[in-house]
Structure 1
Amino acid sequence: MTEIDKVFSDVRVIHDKLSWLNRSKMENALAGYTASEVHLLEYIGKNENINVTKLAEHFFMTRGAMSKSTKKLIKKGALQSKQKEDNKKEIYFTLTEEGQRVFDLHEQLHQEFRARDQDVLNSITPETLSEVESFLQRYNDHLSKEIQKKKLKTR
């Protein structure tokens, strides 16, 4: 196994362990919502002027699939659709009171999980953290370019 293979393996294992550790608390606290729905609410809660197209691009889904997801969340009372006065064609989404409750609860759980892990997180030097962030950003940029290439080929 190469060093880079080891890094990717470690990242997958860490992701799996975090999922296992956090799953039951998340599922209990956010009962009635799937992980995908919670992440959709999180994205809308953290961003403005979000429409189906932006959601589809962010989550790498079709607009049709995202439209289905938003309709489910509207039915659950977590999202509302709005139109701007100057653009009646485009539909934007905002959180309802219920959506904000789910968003806040999700954020609170993440803070709790971060507190649980704070000792090890505090042990990372700023230099190491900067290097890791730099690598992740470069790799993320690379993957974005590859996605764009693939999209252009499928048109």
Structure 2
Amino acid sequence: MESTKKKVLKALQEFITTRESIRRTESSNNKNVLFGVSWTLTQFHIVALLKENELMNNTTLAKELNISKPAVTKATKKLLEKGIIKEKQNEGNKKEIFYVLTEKGETMAAIHEKLHKEAEEQYLSLLDNFNKEQLETIILFLNTLTNHLKNENMK
């Protein structure tokens, strides 16, 4: 059993190393460049959320993305500067600011949705290689790993 655990650990390390290497390559190849600007995954996800849910603010975006409010502020600042989103004040409460997509933002959301669907299709195709029991084990492992990461991050 111990050697199997070591094989899993080695496979996980290989996966992480390969994924990071690909991310660096994508970054240097300007794979996330749109409108002449390099975008973060967080910025793409904010745009996607605003496409689905109009009038979201920093608090709702932070909660949906499971990131801090300052991280949302940093991401939205660039989106505002580049004309992807715009601010809209609440009629009843002028202090409360919501974000809405501009026309450029709508275009970016459509591109993100297309890329997201392509990635989803690739993952589903990959998962076709496993039976139901194996998939349940994968789910258990990924949920356990995610919870561990969240708990470590809370310390």
Q: Which residue of 1 aligns with 2:85?
A: 79
- Indicate which of 74, 87, 107 corresponds to 1:101: 107
Q: Is the 8 A contact 2:88 2:100 kept in 1?
A: yes
Distance 1:51 1:106, change over 3 A: same
Question: Quick check: 1:141 aligned with 2:151?
Answer: no
Structure 1 residues 126 and 101: alpha-carbon distance in aligned structure 2, compared to 1, 3 A threshold: farther
Q: Which residue does 1:26 correspond to in 2? A: 31
Cα displacement (A) at 1:105: 0.7
In structure 1, C-alpha distance between the alignment counterparts of 2:132 and 2:30, rounded to whole Å:
31
- Seen in structure 2, the aligned counterparts of structure 1 residues 118 and 29 have a Cα distance that, compared at 3 Å, is farther
Q: Whose relative contact order is higher, 1 or 2, with alpha carbons under 8 Å and at least 6 apart? A: 1
- The residue type paired with residue 33 of structure 1 is S
How is 1:1-155 mapped onto 2 (pairs within 5 angstroms)? Answer: 2-16=6-20, 19=23, 24=29, 26-27=31-32, 31-36=36-41, 37-46=43-52, 50-56=56-62, 58=65, 60-61=67-68, 63=70, 66-115=72-121, 119-148=125-154, 150=155
Out of 106-115 and 68-77, give the one that drifted further: 106-115
Cα 1:22/1:71, change in 2 over 3 Å: closer
The gaps in structure 2 that reach 5 residues or longer are: none
Aligned-partner Cα distance in 2 for 1:87–1:33: 34
**Unaligned stretches of 5+ in structure 1?**
151-155
Are the aligned partners of 2:86 and 2:99 in contact in 1 as well (CA < 8 Å)? Answer: yes
**Is the deviation greater in 51-60 or in 76-85?**
51-60
Equivalent residue, structure 2, for 1:153: none
Preserved contact between residue 41 and residue 95 of structure 1 (Cα < 8 Å): yes
C-alpha RMSD of the superposition: 3.5
Q: Is the 8 A contact 1:79 1:95 kept in 2?
A: yes
Q: Which letter maps to 2:98?
A: Y
Q: Percent identity?
A: 28
The one-letter code of the counterpart of 2:126 is V
Instruction: Tell me: CA distance 1:146–1:28, structure 2 relative to 1, closer, same or farther (3 Å).
Output: closer
| Residues 17, 44 of structure 1: alpha-carbon distance in 2 compared, 3 angstrom cutoff | farther
